[in-house]
A and B are shown apart, each in its own frame.
Chain A
């Protein structure tokens, strides 16, 4: 029985890398909202709810979609045994500011319920759970920077209980700056399933996180 990372996706600097290879690239001058819309269109999926989400959730959904692409992850693991473990540094600060601006505007006071809903960072976990019908356990950590050790040790602890697979990563948006890194990991009975799979440990996660050579 081994714990493997079977796929990973990384989005930053208006580029998307899947398993280390850049798959999509937008002009460096593209703003985050434009980039997210462009990326969504490029994927040829129809998910009208996407447009209601805040940037953090849009980024998280797209990165997860890329990581899942061409895998049998959702079919191979019982949906109630798949965990979602995410983290970032700025929590939901980007959307917190929008809500704060709306309630500070005394002459035009119309705070939006939709905006308020996204003032919690773990709503992205809810969105991933809803889209892929994942009902396993979940956690959202706020830490200063990408912490491979935290994600790996927590996921290992989950694997020692009921969890059999996990969607893990980092999804950060603050003041237009952003980054998303998602990896899929699972317990495998048959260790020879795919030789390209990487073992789940802190060093490997750091290596995969630093693997992509960004072209801009």
Chain B
């Protein structure tokens, strides 16, 4: 790779904590954030568990210190995570360097739109809410909140969205279009999502069990996570400190089905192989894989097959952290990117909770307790509906 891309700031809010420090505490104590639904109003309140952020909309508004009625849960959590990442990195967006914000979301303002849905379409009331509905809006809100931003764009490729936002940031920096970028994703829980995933019958009524023979499906979660990434030059200019480096990324399409992954995980294999190729690493050089591992019968079987195909008999230590956070959809890849960096920084592999029995067809076993060991390289997988498969590789900074 011709140019280094450094990660210099992390920000995250999800069911396991309102910031990175709280998240690390939950992860290293094997403490899940998934539980009974307390904040979202839904007909499924007592039927399913969810990974909710433990704050009401009012509390979030207080934290952001903005009670503008146009804001919604999605924009609140995006603003909090983006702000944390920027403060963590220490960048000053008014120093003349070019800063971009690349965010991803699938539901955007759906949560608030659905609250007023009847009014909107029956009485034409609350039209201001419509302004916050489109996917691009939460990104613009972050930009307004942070100020002095040169470039803003929004990506929507389902559950791999945030990985693609990270990739786009890397590319824009490498191509000299930006000096640094705030990249990540956000999705707040909504009735829309709950009802939809329920029609697909892939929600587990109990805690999700990624890579377990008896897995029944996923738990939905919500969250936002952002990373500040910078070029080597930008980092040197301000004498900043790098937390880790992004050394490989790739995206491929499975070209199999709108929602189901191919049995052999073809798209996933392509993404992992091409990310490895870019990084210059061999499969044996990877210390830890943070899997997509949603806990659905289809994903885990397909992803496991892909990993076996690429790594053969020597599969690195791996886990899915979705049993901590729930599946946070467009935020999941950036949440897991933050977790990957935490893994490198703290020399810790976080466990795949709720695992008991290996999947018969695969026979692979994830880490089930916190493992303390030096971690230099992490592969993180994220796959989305529409056949979108992404892999990212993070490396410790020497």
Contact = CB atoms under 8 A, between A and B. Distances in A.
Complex A–B touching at CB under 8 A: yes
Interface of A: 79-80, 84, 89-91, 93, 96, 99-100, 103-104, 111-113, 116-117, 119-127, 129-130, 133-144, 150, 153-154, 156-158, 160-162
B192 A120 contact: no
A135 B252 CA distance: 6
B199 A113 contact: yes
A89 to B, nearest CB: 7
A112 B113 CA distance: 20
27 contacts: A79-B255, A89-B134, A91-B156, A100-B110, A104-B114, A111-B196, A111-B199, A116-B199, A120-B158, A122-B156, A122-B158, A122-B388, A125-B157, A126-B386, A129-B253, A129-B255, A129-B386, A130-B255, A133-B255, A134-B253, A135-B252, A140-B156, A143-B136, A153-B177, A154-B168, A156-B175, A161-B278
A103 B192 contact: yes
Contact of A80 (B156, B199, B270): B270
Given A126-B258, A140-B157, A104 B117 contact: yes
Given A99-B196, A125-B386, A126-B388, A117 B250 contact: no
Interface of B: 106, 108, 110, 113-114, 117-118, 133-136, 153-158, 164, 168, 171-172, 174-175, 177, 191-192, 195-201, 250-259, 266-267, 270, 274, 278, 384-388
B385 A135 contact: no
Contacts of A142: 134-136, 154-156
A144 B267 contact: no
Contacts, number: 152
Given A121-B156, A144-B136, A153 B175 contact: yes
Contacts of B157: 120, 122, 125, 138-140
Contact of B110 (A90, A96, A125): A96
A151 to B, nearest CB: 11
B386 A122 contact: yes
A137 B134 contact: no
Contacts of A104: 114, 117-118
Contact of A117 (B174, B191, B259, B274): B259
B343 to A, nearest CB: 26
B120 to A, nearest CB: 10
Contacts of B106: 120
Contacts of B201: 113
Contacts of A123: 158, 258, 385-386
Contacts of B168: 139, 154
B302 to A, nearest CB: 15
Contacts of A154: 168, 171
Which among B134, B135, B253, B255 has the greatest number of chain A C-beta atoms within 10 A? B253
In the A-B complex, the 3 residue pairs with the closest CB atoms: A126-B386, A116-B196, A137-B251
Contacts of A117: 200, 258-259, 385
B153 A150 contact: yes
B191 A135 contact: no
A89 B133 CA distance: 11
A90 B133 CA distance: 9
A160 B278 CA distance: 12
A162 to B, nearest CB: 6
Contact of B154 (A100, A137, A141): A141
B126 to A, nearest CB: 14
A211 to B, nearest CB: 26
A138 B154 contact: no
A200 B77 CA distance: 39
A135 B153 contact: no
A112 B199 contact: yes
B252 A90 contact: no
Contacts of B384: 120, 122
Contact of A139 (B110, B192, B251): B251
Nearest to B154: A142
B266 A125 contact: no
B257 A130 contact: yes
